[in-house]
Structure 1
Amino acid sequence: MTQLRFDDRVAVITGAGRGLGRAYAELLAARGARVVVNDPGGTLRGDEHGEDVAAEVVRAIREFGGAAVASTDSVATPAGGQAIIDTALNTFGRLDILIHNAGTVRPGSLSELSFEDFEAVLDVHLRGAFHVVRAAFPQMSAAGYGRVVLTSSIGGLYGNQRVANYAVAKSAMIGLSNVVALEGAAVGVRSNVIVPAALTRMAEGIDTSAYPPMQPELVAPAVGWLAHESCSISGEMLVAIAGRVARAYIAETPGVYRPSWTIEQIAEHIAGIRDTAGDAWILPVVPSAHIDHIVKSFALATEGK
């Protein structure tokens, strides 16, 4: 099989100083990409910056003959997001790939989570994604090409205790990526979501002794394909955990149609409403899931009259 390479491509990877982001940066650079390694070197909470992790990754990439430049701007502000993208344009003259991996964690139960900690996590994960997408998308659109990979989590798909801020931010990646995919379809920009799990510093304090191998390098190839020009999908989600790569998707049951409903009738028909044994609606985001959902729903109403 011919090796999939990134020669002449420029990639911006946020949160690339450690863990998953570093694995992505090193893989793409090893395959020929020129990489902007973005990481302000913050703590896991994101409240202290300064460790020179981005520069260390750049040094490692250059040692094996790759091309990379460090960026220590924060994704948490619009100015920071723009500066990160400008680093790619000013250094390498173009932008082809955007991988938003930056993240922080500030746990707390719903009874104790502070408003400050809620907003701080959204600033990096959710607003950070928009800040870099907003700066990158016009450049990609003008060039007629782009690959965007946003990072969700099993916590975003299914939730988890004591991390409402993280779950909210990660679930929002799905909607943002879908919009990028829809608006990018006409201009050669594809956008997808990676749902990764790996042993990084976010696993600190967890007993992982019984876990199978879960190094970041097991996730990186899936992200590499999503970032490659041969990527054939847009508006989708790939899961990568412990060597398993799968598709996650949103589906609807066909449901039950009635011309009118009462609370009691909902109770009576709830089994049929929830029945997943029938033909599920799996609507492709691109080109028209939003419209397909409405059309199919209206069709049931029309047929039921």
Structure 2
Amino acid sequence: MAPPPGTPPPGTPLAGLTAIVTGAGRGLGRAEALELARLGAAVVVNDYGQPGRDGSGESSAGPAEETAAEIRAAGGRALAHAGDVADFQQAARLVGSAVEEFGRLDILVNNAGILRDRMVFSMTEDEWDSVIRVHLKGHFNTTRFATAHWRERSKADGGPVYGRIVNTSSEAFLAGSAGQPNYAAAKGGIVGLTTSTALALAKYGVTANAICPRARTRMTEDVFRPTDGDGLDPLAPEHVAPLVGYLASPAAGRINGQLLVVHGGMVAVVERPRVRAQFDSKQDTFSYDELDAVLTSHYADRPPGETFAAAEVLGLKRA
């Protein structure tokens, strides 16, 4: 029996769709761009191309073009884009380039980021601002223009359109990371941006989800040391890319506003925060003594220094 008209060829669920992947010149973004192309999507490969993981050095189109060339060599369609996603106008041009080159935009994968690690009591204003700018503002900028495009398409078509957003958060947000207050804050903000976008765009047919990937890349090379084993590295970016491909596909249409942890052949769905305990005052409002009585006893048997989400998050511990 012949498949229905318009059905993608076997193994290419993203055929006919166009994706943008930011930070796709290296590491996770590169693996994600290659996976989306393998699944049939045309890909705009964005990377600002600075050599330093802290965002330092001269920007270059080289990394983006290398990934795009690899996609084209494998028979796919790709366009390199070397703009800075943290710049509002350059992000607008990035979204515009996808529509101009391939006629449409269907998938946005936000991955671009930098690191400027420092303990909070030593962090400079620039170290804080630069990381928030690239991660959180960068995610917002591309999301703002992609969602405006989908909203206009929905108005023109008179109904829902196809749109997928996959944002990149981190376990640094989930479980804390003492030397990364800027990075952890940005990654937490990305989750808030994702859930807000998911609620706002659902009626237009657009989904937005976030992942917390654990992978050995340029940004984590001093945290995750290389393994000596044979076969695929458990922390290789290639373990993360299939989930991104799936979330970008029609099969994931019912998944929206979710946060998933992924690494080494494992995917975990994170629940929204739940109330662990509740205390009600016996008066109109709490007094200091009453709070002392209920909260001091509640925390008396908890481990000293336990943080909001620390080790109990899915039983995950940093590798």
Q: 1:147 to 1:262 in 2, by over 3 A?
A: same
Deviations 1:140-186 (A, max 9, x none): 12332211111100012222122111111111011100111011111
Counterpart contact for 1:126–1:173, Cα < 8 Å = yes
Q: Secondary structure at the match of 1:178?
A: helix
Question: Match for residue 224 of structure 1?
Answer: 245
Match of 2:53 among 31, 44, 48: 44
Q: TM-score, normalised by structure 1?
A: 0.85
Residues 4 and 31 of structure 1 are in contact (CA less than 8 Å); yes or no, is this contact kept in structure 2?
yes
**Count of aligned positions:** 275
SS at match of 2:279: coil
Deviation at 1:223, TM superposition (A): 1.2
Superposed displacement of residue 95, structure 1? 0.7
Q: Which deviates more from structure 2 when the two are superposed, residues 253-262 or residues 218-227?
A: 253-262
Given that 2:13 and 2:250 are in contact with CA atoms closer than 8 Å, whether structure 1 keeps it comes out as: no
> Could you tell me which residue of structure 1 aligns to residue 41 of structure 2?
33
Instruction: Select the structure that is richer in helix.
Output: 1
Q: Secondary structure at the match of 1:108?
A: coil
- CA apart distance, 1:210: 5.7
- Distance in structure 1 (CA, Å) of the matches to 2:76 and 2:127: 38
Please give the residue correspondences for 1:288-303 in structure 2 after superposition, counting only pairs within 5 Å. Answer: none
Q: Out of 252, 274, 278, which is 1:255 matched to?
A: 278
| Residues 107-116 or 246-255, more deviating | 246-255
CA 1:261 to 1:274, structure 2 compared with 1: closer, same or farther past 3 Å?
farther
Correspondence for 2:131 among 116, 121, 124: 121
Q: Which residue of 1 aligns with 2:235?
A: 214
Look up the equivalent residue of 2:269 and give its one-letter code.
Answer: R
The one-letter amino acid of 1:105's match is L
1:1-305 matched pairs, under 5 angstroms: 3=11, 5-42=13-50, 43-48=52-57, 49-50=59-60, 52-143=62-153, 144-206=161-223, 208-209=225-226, 213-231=234-252, 232-253=254-275, 255-258=278-281, 259-270=284-295
Q: Which sections of structure 2, spanning at least 5 residues, go unmatched?
A: 1-9, 154-160, 302-319
Partner-residue secondary structure (3-state), 2:203: helix
Secondary structure, counterpart of 1:247 in structure 2: strand
SS in structure 2 of the partner of residue 122 of structure 1: helix
- 8 Å CA contact 1:38, 1:54 repeated in 2: yes
Q: 1:206 to 1:181 in 2, by over 3 A?
A: closer
Distance 2:202 2:280 in 1: 33
Deviation at 1:26, TM superposition (A): 0.4
Query: Percent of aligned positions with the same letter in both sequences?
Result: 36
1:62-91 alpha-carbon deviations (Å, 9 max, x no partner): 111011000000011101111110110111
Structure 1 Cα separation of the partners of residues 223 and 207 of structure 2: 36
**How far did residue 263 of structure 1 move?**
2.3
Distance in 2 of aligned mates of 1:207 and 1:20 = 14
Instruction: Tell me, yes or no, if the aligned pair for 2:61 and 2:80 is still in contact at 8 Å.
Output: no
Equivalent residue of 1:12, what SS? Answer: strand
Would the alpha carbon gap of residues 51 and 186 (structure 1) be closer, same or farther in structure 2, given more than 3 Å must change?
A: closer
TM-score by length of 2: 0.81
Structure 1 residue runs of 5 or longer lacking an equivalent are 276-305
AA paired with 2:17?
R
What value does the CA root-mean-square deviation take over the aligned residues?
2.1
Structure 1 residue 272 displacement after superposition: 5.8
How far does residue 245 in structure 1 lie from its aligned partner after superposition?
0.6
Aligned partner letter, 2:243: A
CA pair 177-31 structure 1, distance change in 2 beyond 3 A: same
Post-superposition Cα deviations, 1:240-288, rounded to whole Å, max 9, x if no partner, equal: 022211011222225233353222222322366999xxxxxxxxxxxxx
Shift of the alpha carbon at 1:14?
Answer: 0.3
Q: Distance in 2 between matches of 1:103 and 1:17?
A: 12
Contact kept? 1:17, 1:41, Cα under 8 Å:
yes
